[in-house]
Amino acid sequence: MKKTIVIAGLIIGGIAYAGYRKAQKLKEIFNQMKIHPSGLRNVKIGVDYFTFNLDLTIENPTTEAFSLNTGNTASFKRVLAYRNGHFLGMATLNLNMVNIPAFNSFELKNVPFQISSNIVIQNALSIESFSVEQLTFVVVVDILGKEYYIEG
């Protein structure tokens, strides 16, 4: 009986360690990735919110593939948008099946953004000139309950 408990403990410990190593590897790759907008559609202007769908391209410049085919172990949770360091809006995702090969990219299509009309007005009043380079997008990935950020 004790032998069975010890073996079961070793198996569970081994699985936990393998999951930890996988998470660390994903984090290493993730820290080198870049993100940028690649499409905009369905812009709707409302009294309270502006909504639109945005395509985002995530680039993997590393020699290893980035794969989130892990069920609930890792998932893309949110995309945050900033202009010159000021928060614009957020899109909520629940995507846990992503594979970005080495030296390749992945396009998140039709990410539904919602931005408060007040934020849009504040930014419109402060815009002397606008450039896509002023925008920063951050993808939040949850790996084993800890959040990591890709900023581009």
Mean pLDDT, range 52-73, rounded to an integer: 80
Total domains, the chain: 1
For the stretch 112-142, pLDDT in tens is 988 888 887 776 666 666 666 677 888 888 8
Range of the domain at 86: 2-151
Task: Using alpha carbons, list the distances in angstroms from residue 114 to 13, 20, 86, 90, 102.
Answer: 43, 35, 15, 6, 32
Q: CATH number for the domain including 61?
A: 2.60.40
Of 1, 63, 53, 58, nearest in space to 28 by CA: 63
For the stretch 8-28, pLDDT in tens is 666 776 666 656 666 667 677
For the stretch 15-61, pLDDT in tens is 666 566 666 676 777 778 888 888 888 988 888 888 888 888 889 99
What is the C-alpha to C-alpha distance for residues 76 and 66, in angstroms, rounded to an integer? 12
What is the C-alpha to C-alpha distance for residues 26 and 39, in angstroms, rounded to an integer? 27
Longest dimension (CA), the chain: 75
